[in-house]
Amino acid sequence: MGSSRDIWEAIELLEGLRLLDREEKILSWRFEAARAIENADRMGRAIVFRADCCPGIDVVSNLIPSRAVLMKYLGVGGDEELYRRLVEAMDNPIPCREDIFSDYYVEDRRTLYELPALHFYEGDAGRYFTSSIFIAKDPDGEIYNASIHRILVRGEMEGPARLVPRHLRRIVGAHRSKGLETPVAVCFSPHPVVFLAAALQPRYGVFEMEVANRLLNGGLRLCRTPIYNLPVPCSCSHVLEGRITLRDVEEGPFADALLTYDRVRMEPLVVFDRIYRSRDAKPFHTVLAGRTEHTILMGIGKEADIYYSVSRVVRRVHRVRLTRASGGWLHAIISIEKGAEGESKNAILAAFAAHPSLKMVTVVDSDIDIDSPEEVEWAIATRLQASRGLVIIRGARLSSLDPSAQDGIGDKLGIDATVPVGERARFRRARIP
């Protein structure tokens, strides 16, 4: 049995940084656990606790309580290096070494109700798994996909999963076109970098576990599940084998990244055949929607896309942020160094092209701290004239998360809050030496 980087390593790092809390009280799965996660998030901390639905299992959340911690997991020193690592990993994945499944996992006789599926927000449809990594294979070739999808528990061994129209939905569609169910392995609690890789969107045909292996410098091992022979990390707390069936059932509502309720949809029912747990009792990872861990994972890959897209049309991009208030998804702030007038408008258009779900882009100069809402507002107050600084794109496709969209259609807004070239002295911000 070889070594594989895992969640224990992440917990050790958080303990070393003094960013990990341990709750001694057993918490209710209905709201109380979510409240504890939220309180820890507000303080920028991870938390380990137990829930009354599964008092024998440690649960951990906020494993990525900040960008700084994510950078420590990846061993990078700044945004540009972070983006470069992500893009290089997606372009140059490394195949994983494989070990024997039974060396790492044993069968677990629990049902889904006896695992840490939590009821997070008052309007949620019920108990959810929010950190579920689905691994599936294209029926027409050796193409594997890993992606994160929530599961609503509807029975002891079944529940619908929300499948957004990306690669897993494509694989399920290919199976259904042949009248087949889709075999899946659902994994929980690998190393946070593996979870990050599953949240990225490489081109179809690139296996996200091999992207993770590149990010972990070859430190990820896989093993094949007993029933469906699917490759899963050796480092998970739990692995579920099952089938995405041909039947669709109601899923939702669920509070998503924007802290609004995603609507009820008909989604595929997943039926599980077997549950496995790790031999060394790894803690079970859960994610509270709309909080720091969720928004970082949602947006970090798209930030990289925006960074490189905008870099092609301006002299220099300093920084990019998908804002937390927009779920790490809808609003981008970009600081640039202009070489000529018009580049800031090009930056706006390049950002929209790189991330079609964007609703608003604000472009500022490099002297503005884009992590400070006050400084960004100051730039808008002092450097924007609406008649020449606004870009409005009407009738565009918006994110399915945006409740203001009408049938997915709405408007996009670009804000050019940059100083005219050659006029910086007039716009200089006062500072005390």
The length of the chain in residues reads 433
Average pLDDT over residues 266-277: 98
Strand pairing partners for 231? 224
pLDDT band at 349 (very low <50, low <70, confident <90, very high): very high
What's the pLDDT score for residue 43? 97
pLDDT band at 315 (very low <50, low <70, confident <90, very high): very high
pLDDT over threshold 80, residue 3: no
Query: Per-residue pLDDT averaged across 18-45, rounded?
Result: 97
CB 416 within 8 A of CB 390: yes
What pLDDT, on the 0 to 100 scale, is given for residue 51?
98
Residues 6+ apart with CB under 8 A from 143: 137, 171, 204, 205, 207
pLDDT tens string 113-144: 999 999 999 999 999 999 999 999 999 988 99
Q: Record the tokens describing residue 47, joined without a space.
A: 């938390």
Distance of alpha carbon 180 from alpha carbon 32, whole angstroms: 40
β pairing state of 390-397 and 409-417: antiparallel
Contact of 236 with 230, CB cutoff 8 Å:
no
Check whether the bond before 65 is cis (ω within 30° of 0).
Answer: no
In this prediction, residue 430 carries a pLDDT of 86
The SS3 call for residue 386 is helix
First vs last C-alpha separation in the chain: 59
Confidence of residue 427 (pLDDT cuts 50, 70, 90): confident
- Burial code of 388-405, b = ≥16 C-beta within 10 A, e = fewer? ebebeeeebebbebbeeb
Q: Which of 110, 113, 159, 116 is nearest to 134 (CA)?
A: 159
Query: Across the beta sheet with 20-27, what order do the strands follow?
Result: 20-27, 46-51, 59-61, 284-285
Token pair, residue 385, equals 């004239």
Decide if 256 is catalytic: yes
User: Which DSSP state fits 253?
Assistant: -
* Domains of the chain from N-terminus onward: 7-280 (2.30.110.10), 293-427 (3.40.1670.10)
Enter the tokens of residue 40: 């820890």
Q: Residues 78-108, buried b or exposed e (16+ Cβ, 10 A)?
A: ebbebbebbbebbeebbebeebebeebbeeb
More reliable by pLDDT, 421 or 206: 206
pLDDT, tens only, 85-100: 999 999 999 999 999 9
- Reported as a pLDDT band with limits 50, 70 and 90, residue 1 is very low
For residues 341 and 418, what is the distance between their CA atoms, to the nearest angstrom?
Answer: 10
Task: Give the confidence band of 421 by pLDDT, cuts at 50, 70, 90.
Answer: confident
Q: Which residues contact 432 (CB under 8 A, 6 or more apart)?
A: none
Mean pLDDT of the chain: 96
Q: Are 159 and 270 in contact (CB under 8 A)?
A: yes
d(CA 317, CA 418): 13
Residues 6+ apart with CB under 8 A from 135: 144, 145, 146, 184, 185, 186, 187, 209, 230, 231, 232
3-state SS class at 318: strand
> What digits encode the pLDDT tens for the residues 186-215?
999 999 999 999 999 999 999 999 999 999
Is residue 233 scored above 80 in pLDDT? yes
- Backbone phi and psi for residue 232, each to the nearest 5 degrees, phi listed first: -125, 155
For residue 263, the 8-state DSSP code is P
Residue tagged active-site, from 41, 256, 262, 402: 256
| Torsion angle in degrees (nearest 10) through CA of 279, 282, 287, 291 | -160
Structure confidence at residue 431 (pLDDT): 87
Whole-angstrom distance, CA of residue 335 vs CA of residue 332: 10
In DSSP terms, which residues pair with 241 in a beta bridge?
185, 274
**% of the chain surpassing 90 pLDDT:** 93
Q: Say which residues have a Cβ less than 8 Å from residue 35's Cβ, sequence separation at least 6.
A: none
Q: What is the pLDDT of residue 4?
A: 66
Q: Is 157 helix (H, G, I), strand (E, B) or coil?
A: coil
